[in-house]
């Protein structure tokens, strides 16, 4: 009886064959190859969890205008220093001699007397912090 029961169990086990396949990773995030349909869902979940709200500082027209002028002024200075460093239009440069410029809380001193490099010294007038940048001359 025990032999018949054991034979029946082995036969039934052999009759039910087990199938398996390899596990395949399916990414969810569309940035990493997941379905693009998951994007809006994931973004809304992330925004719902975000507790940080950035403060929006309203600037007056005069403040915006001043910042724009300062950006243009600094861009012009960088172009002049680059041209001077590479020897382009060295005679026409504003910085043929040492110069000091003031921009808001900063004092910018450009030292061109060294033939090997141009030194830009930026001083924060509120706390006295000094940053020195040396640009090698190639021209």
pTM of the entire predicted model: 0.48
Q: Is residue 71 part of a domain?
A: yes
Q: Is residue 3 part of a domain?
A: no
Q: Is residue 40 part of a domain?
A: no
Q: What tokens appear for 70 in the block?
A: 């300062």
pLDDT of residue 123: 92
Where b means 16+ CB within 10 Å and e means fewer, 18-30 reads: eeeeeeeeeeeee
Q: Is residue 79 part of a domain?
A: yes
Q: Is residue 93 part of a domain?
A: yes
SS3 state at 113:
coil
* Full residue range of the structural domain in which residue 117 is found: 67-136
Half-sphere exposure of 57 (CA within 13 A, CB side): 3
Q: What tokens appear for 101 in the block?
A: 């410029």
pLDDT of residue 18: 65
pLDDT band at 102 (very low <50, low <70, confident <90, very high): confident
Residues 90/84, Cβ–Cβ less than 8 Å: yes
Q: Is residue 90 part of a domain?
A: yes
pLDDT of residue 15: 61
Q: Is residue 104 part of a domain?
A: yes
Q: How many domains does the chain have?
A: 1
Q: Is residue 116 part of a domain?
A: yes
């Amino acid at each position: 009886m025990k032999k018949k029961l054991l034979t029946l169990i082995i036969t039934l086990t052999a009759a039910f064959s087990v199938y398996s396949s390899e596990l395949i990773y399916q990414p969810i995030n569309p940035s990493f190859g997941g379905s693009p349909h998951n994007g809006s869902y994931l973004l809304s979940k992330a925004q719902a969890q975000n507790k940080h709200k950035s403060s929006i500082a309203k600037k007056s027209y005069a403040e915006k205008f001043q910042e724009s002028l300062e950006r243009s002024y600094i861009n012009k200075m960088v172009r002049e220093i680059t041209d001077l460093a590479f020897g382009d239009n060295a005679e026409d440069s504003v910085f043929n001699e040492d110069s000091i410029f003031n921009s808001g809380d900063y004092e910018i001193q450009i030292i061109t007397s060294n033939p090997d490099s141009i030194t830009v010294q930026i001083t924060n007038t509120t706390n006295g912090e000094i940053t020195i940048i040396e640009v090698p001359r190639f021209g």
